[in-house]
Chain A
Amino acid sequence: EPEVTQTPSHQVTQMGQEVILRCVPISNHLYFYWYRQILGQKVEFLVSFYNNEISEKSEIFDDQFSVERPDGSNFTLKIRSTKLEDSAMYFCAISWGLTGQGKTEAFFGQGTRLTVV
């Protein structure tokens, strides 16, 4: 059973619409991350989340992006007003971080393919 699942697997949305991507970890991990990969480009870091707040964010993660854990379980990425250039695969990742089990490798979800038209 995967450590983390993502929904939806594919989302098509019109430019300017809001989208919410969801990530559901199986276990109680400490660190949550969102990455994206635009077709043909490298995996890019968006944001990390620890202890119910953002710990780091990249320059890509501007005001149109937000993250939260609304019920202490799901981890969501919201894009308020999508642009064509937001089309990408979005990956949620989780890890124990430096504490807990002492493991630092990340477990990835299957990704959500976002297509903005």
Chain B
Amino acid sequence: ILNVEQSPQSLHVQEGDSTNFTCSFPSSNFYALHWYRWETAKSPEALFVMTLNGDEKKKGRISATLNTKEGYSYLYIKGSQPEDSATYLCAFIGGSYIPTFGRGTSLIVHP
């Protein structure tokens, strides 16, 4: 069973705060790491697909970094807005090419 852990489990921040959370995954047999954004009553949507050690991806105020040697990825949100409130899931893809998901980090941004 692959161990994909996300921390913290939940996070409350004020509008305008910057925040970050972590996804840790096995450092061996790495193929890709995905980040998904999951809003309540909707289905998860892909944010980033990361494949190379040292990858940095950015979409607006959201960015992510990847360290495959030590098995972690950070997701950063700069200047959080209430519409950023969602659960952020990471998924590790290894040799089987099947995404294995973490439990998610629930972010709530208070106006």
Contacts and interface: CB of A to CB of B under 8 A. Distances in A.
Given A35-B101, A42-B104, A109-B43, 13 more contacts: A2-B43, A42-B101, A42-B102, A43-B103, A44-B101, A56-B96, A91-B44, A93-B99, A104-B34, A104-B49, A104-B97, A107-B46, A108-B43
Contacts of A48: 98
Interface string B83-95: 0000001010100
Contacts of B59: none
Interface of A: 2, 31, 33, 35, 41-45, 48, 56, 91, 93, 97-98, 103-111
B97 A91 contact: no
Contact of A97 (B42, B97, B100): B97
Given A43-B89, A56-B96, A105 B34 contact: yes
A110 B101 contact: no
B78 to A, nearest CB: 23
B98 A56 contact: yes
Interface residues of B, number: 22
A64 B102 CA distance: 26
A35 B44 CA distance: 12
Contacts of A44: 101
B32 interface: yes
> Which of B31, B99, B103 has the most CB atoms of chain A within a 10 A radius of its CB?
B99
Given A43-B89, A103-B49, A108 B98 contact: no
A65 B10 CA distance: 33
Contact of A108 (B44, B49, B96, B103): B44
Contacts of B91: 106
Contact of A91 (B34, B43, B49, B104): B43
Contacts of A91: 43-44
A107 B91 CA distance: 13
B34 A106 contact: yes
